[in-house]
Structure 1
Amino acid sequence: MLLTKIGLTGGIAIRNSNLTEMVLPMIFAVIVGIIVVFVARYTLANLPKVKVVDAIATGGLFGAVSGSTMAAGLTVLEEQKIPYEAWAGALYPFMDIPALVTAIVVANIYLNKKKQKEAAHDHESFSKQPVAAGDYSDQQDYPSSRQEYLSLQQPADNRVKIWPIIEESLRGPALSAMLLGLALGIFTQPETVYKSFYDPLFRGLLSILMLVMGMEAWSRVGELRKVAQWYVVYSVLAPFVHGLIAFGLGMVAHYATGFSWGGVVVLAVIASSSSDISGPPTLRAGIPSANPSAYIGASTAIGTPVAIGLCIPFFLGLAQALSGG
């Protein structure tokens, strides 16, 4: 129900926006959400002793969007009387959902490859055992090892089939609920049910879920003692890197379509944020093997304060400097 509500919120925001004006910024939001996951996959995941699955989940959470950070950014723009598109806030689901979907799919691809490697290693160990003569009438036809015997019986296929993994990820309960809510929000008018049923229960259920996840995170916090410094470095630098990528793409939209400087700042701010609502339950369901202490700790303890306290004024000042305002 939590994830259906998150999808509904995004769908309603999209339906109430001007999609023709949103096209280029919307595409850039999707691109940023996906890029952020791969940044974590090929930077954080390659640091000493950092578990790849934990790094991917952390990237998914940093690619997803924090509602509180976005609200803080919009408030600052209004206080500074900097104009921005009314639909700019509706860009968040286009970054949020692709980031979470990408993280779950990339993590599942990695886990499947790891599983196949382990199976191949076990197969190789088994194949080195001698083979009984069995029904081989001619000694020349007798395989010298179990590996040769198995290769004759069944050609090995060690390739990971990516599409079935994507399909399985999308059919999982977490993404299915969120995508269903997104579709209902876009193609129907669920405001009455949303306000009377989903919205009142959301806070309470989210509090229970976060309590459960907090207990699990505490029970696994010991796993992070040897890699905590890497998560600190990542959590401080990543919001600026992600925001700068989005800011650059926002400038392209500005010069190509007249996207306002305020809108560029909004895009950069949501890219620098890390999800505090949609991300944790989605990743918990989609990547259960990932350690919540890693991705929640990195996001809540460091990432969000950096995004609100440092990134918002940084990108606002950058926009003012470049626009001459």
Structure 2
Amino acid sequence: MDVIWTIISSFLEQLQKPTLSFLIAGMVLAALGSKFEIPAPVYQFIVILLLLKVGLGAGIAIREAEPMTLIVPALGAVVVGVLIVWLGGLTLARLRGVSQVDGLATAGLFGAVSASTLAAGMVMLDDSGQEYEAYIGALYPFMDIAALVTAILLARLAAARNSGLAVQGGGALALHAGQGGVAVEQGSLVRHILVDTCRSPAISAMLAGLAIGFLARPDVVYHSFYEPLFRGLLSILMMIMGMEAWSRLSALRKVAHVYVFYGLTAPLIHGFIGFGVGMAAHHLTGFSAGGVVLLAVMASSSSDISGPPTLRAALPEANSSAYVGTSTALGTPTAILLIPLWIALAELVISG
């Protein structure tokens, strides 16, 4: 009983922190029909600054990090991304009322990472005084790309099996039906997806920050410009996301109700997967309690920046109302509200 009360009290305490308060405020404003609006260019500017900040901080930290301390969590991030999509393919994509391509696209979005949710987790850990590896932002692309590549590959393979016809997709995928089944030229498809994903604004900004932080010496501009702006910009982003989440709820009425169940439960299940992999890294390399929390945060999140345009380009036949609506309206706010749970659990299992 004491354990449950500890988790509940920690959760309620975190709800009062600015990060979650602004998210809830945005949802309330949208529910009340407020005309409050942040211009799209301002939103994009805020996102790019946040991603550059996370990338720069990770790149600066990687310069001084031991290779093994980074390799194990990075491999864990890849495993988590692939596992989440695989589970989605076994569950959501096989349910009545859900097409296989829509289910896999949704699983891919939930396997990818939300930069804003990761940033929110960092701020909440800072507010709690819990330390974490500064290079944690470098794990973002590993999980993000692994999930998107897996989802698109599985969706393309499923479409090929269902059609039983030869398909040539934009020069990226060649399928040949024969007695031995379907032979797939996967190498070119994987390269095509990797290139498209890395060119997306989110991953591009993150990788640019990583490269600059690692190869150059941007410490002065990082501490004088990016660090002071981080919390204020994140609070605005949380309010925007709250309003967007509420407005997207109407899109879910157009798809199967099972998406609602998935959007509410998947972040919790995925977060526990990330937490478990983080605990394994903790025992193997001394990965910090804060690092375990952020790996769980990344696993529970769903991509809100890099994922949607990548999936729209690679799987144009997928219903964006299904995967974007489920992610934005339910997945993202649920993942952010779950951050206090991972903090409390880490304090109980590791720090306690």
The answer to whether TM tops 0.5 is yes
Structure 2, unmatched stretches of 5+, are 1-43, 168-176, 219-247
**In structure 2, do the counterparts of structure 1 residues 280 and 115 end up closer, same or farther at CA, with 3 Å as the change threshold?**
same
What's the CA shift for 1:30?
Answer: 0.6
Does structure 1 residue 249 correspond to structure 2 residue 277?
A: yes
Amino acid at match of 1:275: S
**Cα distance in 2 between the residues matched to 1:272 and 1:60:** 12
Deviations 1:4-58 (A, max 9, x none): x89x969767644426121111110010011111111110011112111001010
**Cross-structure match for 1:315:** 342
**In structure 2, do the counterparts of structure 1 residues 43 and 86 end up closer, same or farther at CA, with 3 Å as the change threshold?**
same
Superposed, which structure 2 residues align to 1:1-325 within 5 Å? 15-18=59-62, 20=67, 21-116=69-164, 156-157=178-179, 159-162=181-184, 164-171=185-192, 174-175=196-197, 177=199, 224=255, 227=256, 229-309=257-337, 311-325=338-352
Amino acid at match of 1:248: G
Contact 1:63/1:99 (8 A) holds in 2: yes
**In structure 2, do the counterparts of structure 1 residues 191 and 288 end up closer, same or farther at CA, with 3 Å as the change threshold?**
farther
Contact 2:58/2:134 (8 A) holds in 1: no
**Cα distance in 2 between the residues matched to 1:13 and 1:284:** 30
**In structure 2, do the counterparts of structure 1 residues 156 and 103 end up closer, same or farther at CA, with 3 Å as the change threshold?**
closer
**In structure 2, do the counterparts of structure 1 residues 17 and 284 end up closer, same or farther at CA, with 3 Å as the change threshold?**
farther
Contact 1:108/1:165 (8 A) holds in 2: no
> Quick check: 45-54 or 109-118, which moved more?
109-118
Contact 2:114/2:301 (8 A) holds in 1: yes
Given the two structures, how large is their TM-score scaled by the length of structure 1? 0.70
**In structure 2, do the counterparts of structure 1 residues 98 and 11 end up closer, same or farther at CA, with 3 Å as the change threshold?**
farther
Contact 1:169/1:175 (8 A) holds in 2: no
Amino acid at match of 1:245: I
**In structure 2, do the counterparts of structure 1 residues 105 and 190 end up closer, same or farther at CA, with 3 Å as the change threshold?**
farther
What's the CA shift for 1:249?
Answer: 1.0
Contact 1:221/1:293 (8 A) holds in 2: yes
**In structure 2, do the counterparts of structure 1 residues 49 and 158 end up closer, same or farther at CA, with 3 Å as the change threshold?**
farther
Amino acid at match of 2:188: E
**In structure 2, do the counterparts of structure 1 residues 66 and 176 end up closer, same or farther at CA, with 3 Å as the change threshold?**
closer
Amino acid at match of 2:260: V
Sequence identity percentage:
43
**Cross-structure match for 1:132:** none
**In structure 2, do the counterparts of structure 1 residues 270 and 165 end up closer, same or farther at CA, with 3 Å as the change threshold?**
same
What's the CA shift for 1:299?
Answer: 0.4
**In structure 2, do the counterparts of structure 1 residues 165 and 11 end up closer, same or farther at CA, with 3 Å as the change threshold?**
farther
C-alpha RMSD of the superposition? 3.3
**In structure 2, do the counterparts of structure 1 residues 279 and 320 end up closer, same or farther at CA, with 3 Å as the change threshold?**
same
Amino acid at match of 1:68: S
Match of 1:160, SS state, is strand
Contact 1:175/1:286 (8 A) holds in 2: no
Given the two structures, how large is their TM-score scaled by the length of structure 2? 0.65
**Cross-structure match for 1:131:** none
**Cα distance in 1 between the residues matched to 2:304 and 2:206:** 18
**In structure 2, do the counterparts of structure 1 residues 245 and 45 end up closer, same or farther at CA, with 3 Å as the change threshold?**
same
Match of 1:161, SS state, is strand
Amino acid at match of 2:124: V
Structure 1, unmatched stretches of 5+, are 120-154, 193-216
**Cross-structure match for 2:24:** none
The size of the alignment, in residue pairs, is: 258
- Larger Rg, first or second structure (1 or 2): 1
Contact 1:25/1:91 (8 A) holds in 2: yes
Amino acid at match of 1:157: Q
